[in-house]
Amino acid sequence: MNQRHLAVTIRASIQTYREQPAMYYKEGAAWREISYEAMGKQIDKVARALLASGVQPGERIGIFAQNCPEWTMVDLGILTVRGIGVPIYATNTAEQTAYIVNDTQMTILFCGDQENYDKAQAIKAQSPSLKWIITFDEGVQLRGAESLHFSQFLQMGEDEGLATAVADRLRTASADDLATIIYTSGTTGEPKGVMLTHANLYHQFVAMDGQFQVGPGDRSLCFLPLSHVYERAWSYFIFKTGAANYYLANPKEVIAAMQEVRPTVMVSVPRLYEKVYAAVYNNLEGGSAVKKKLFHWAVAVGSDYQNRRKAQRPLGLLISLKHRLADRLVLHKIRDVVGGPKNFFSAGGAPLAQEIEEFFFAAGLLVCEGYGLTECSPMVTFNTPRAFKFGTVGKPIPDCRIKIAENGEILVQGAGVTQGYYNKPEATAVAIVDGWFHTGDVGEFDEEGFLRITDRIKDLIITSGGKNIAPQRIETAVAKDHYIEQFIAIGDRRKFISALIVPNFVALQEYARRRGIADTLPEALVKHPDIIAFYRARIDSHSHGLAPYEQVKQFTLLPAPFSQETGELTPSQKIKRKVVLQNHAEAIDVMYK
């Protein structure tokens, strides 16, 4: 039995931490606990039911649901019988779901709620491989003999006699078994199924062990979709270490949930930290001059105190007293917004402005930013509590080699790199050349060996004047503003840089009311001359570090956000630049007339 197999690893944790809490889920206003022992019994029951339904090694089985304990139990049950788990974002359309089901020739699809189930039923006729549709939500109205509620499915696993067959299946497990096929979001084209083995994902444990202190008593809020490799790999690590996962079905409730759960560790994408930062500064906008002065003083004291500690410089009585006062008056309130003290935060998936990292650090909250891709399972580099540098994504993880190509592209080789794209040998051959995975990202190492990501190769803007411009640099500098919700820089083959901006309408409407602007509907605000002038000033204030040719000369405020429904966002909430440019072509052309 291979110890680097995920199901084997987590079964060992179940034996070690039997009575410890493993999972929590929300029932009404209360959080309900599931112990490691109870979780293990459910995983075994899922595994037996899968065998009873005829699942063979290597069979592809999908999970199309919001975060919930059942998601993980099914995932680990699939791995236990040497199946291949295929996650599907709960927000995917029926068409996107059909593509994944048919590409993998999926036989069983686990669904969450009625909406997920209805989409699955809608594609059943065009997906001949699909034998069963099973819903976690017992209230879903089922149609057809191939549909079951989860409780009915589990009844197929009641036969304890199947336990021997499960053990036999697991005994033949290998670290080289394919564990999952994860479909990339497709910001630039058709989604591709990334194949990851157990060894690929286990490598993440090796990288994190000793770098991040996590164990029994720690609480992680599982709010990023489990269909995303970041949250899923992190959840495996949570269970390996004996910590507890709190499952949040609706990620929009994350800030409220953090205040209830008070997680000690968690992973996130930068958007959460940006939202907290924006909320704090938006609240400050309506305060008195004295309140603002006190706030900025406290943050400055916090920054000085934390940087002295990081550099192991003497604190002294005066700075210690000032920090104690600053913490009591201001800094602890910032920590309270995110549920109190943390061992650490982690950030990945997109760049996080250095100013925001430093703000959290001043408040006593360390955000360890890292860099990775689904194809690398996912982490390639990370900052750690003992070795971090703001403005970078850290140093390469163990057994991961990185080199920078002549064009600046980051190339990766190591134990975490994918086996390739499912059913796409041509795409695999393009992505992996001579053993090096081509990330498509542009970056550079500094003198201390920390990596900086500067842009995506396909996103680079070349102006009509021949200037090569990295839009990510502009977007990171300007979009940190708490009055901005979404921001995209434009200018390829154009004379200058322009931008499309979706305001943070909650903050903007409060500002408008303070200024005596009567009509605060988004459609009116984005056209109001005073509001446009207000954004002009804010953009300019954030552009001092940009070269003149990188600065935004024209911009358009949009009354509605980019969304998955309009095709402008991927399921993981990344902006599809090409679609946005197409959808707003008329507004863009006006800026260049």
Q: Sign of torsion, CA 422 425 430 431?
A: positive
* Lowest-pLDDT choice from 87-101, 222-236, 359-373, 464-478: 464-478
Model pLDDT, residue 188: 52
Q: Are 109 and 227 in contact (CB under 8 A)?
A: no
Model pLDDT, residue 186: 60
Examine the pLDDT at 286 and tell me if it is beyond 90. Answer: no
Q: Map out the domains of the chain as residue ranges.
A: 6-173+209-248, 270-456, 460-591
* Lowest-pLDDT choice from 38-47, 295-304, 574-583: 574-583
Tens digit of pLDDT for each residue in 497-553?
Answer: 999 999 999 999 999 999 999 999 999 999 999 999 999 999 999 999 898 999 999
- Alpha carbon distances (Å) from 109 to 84, 86, 106, 268: 12, 9, 7, 27
CATH architecture of 460-591: 2-Layer Sandwich (3.30)
465 pLDDT band, cuts 50/70/90, is confident
> Closest by alpha carbon to 503, among 516, 514, 512?
512
CATH architecture of 270-456: 3-Layer(aba) Sandwich (3.40)
Q: Sign of torsion, CA 226 228 233 235?
A: negative
468 pLDDT band, cuts 50/70/90, is confident
Examine the pLDDT at 64 and tell me if it is beyond 80. Answer: yes
Same fold yes or no, 6-173+209-248 and 270-456 = yes
Tens digit of pLDDT for each residue in 153-164?
Answer: 999 998 888 999
With residue 381 as reference, give the H or E element that holds it: strand 379-382
Strands of the 147-149 sheet, one edge to the other: 147-149, 132-135, 108-111, 60-64, 84-88, 178-183, 193-197, 420-421
Tens digit of pLDDT for each residue in 320-371?
Answer: 999 999 999 999 999 999 999 999 999 998 889 999 999 999 999 999 999 9
Model pLDDT, residue 457: 87
- Stated length of the chain: 593
The CATH number that domain 6-173+209-248 falls under is 3.40.50.12780
187 pLDDT band, cuts 50/70/90, is low
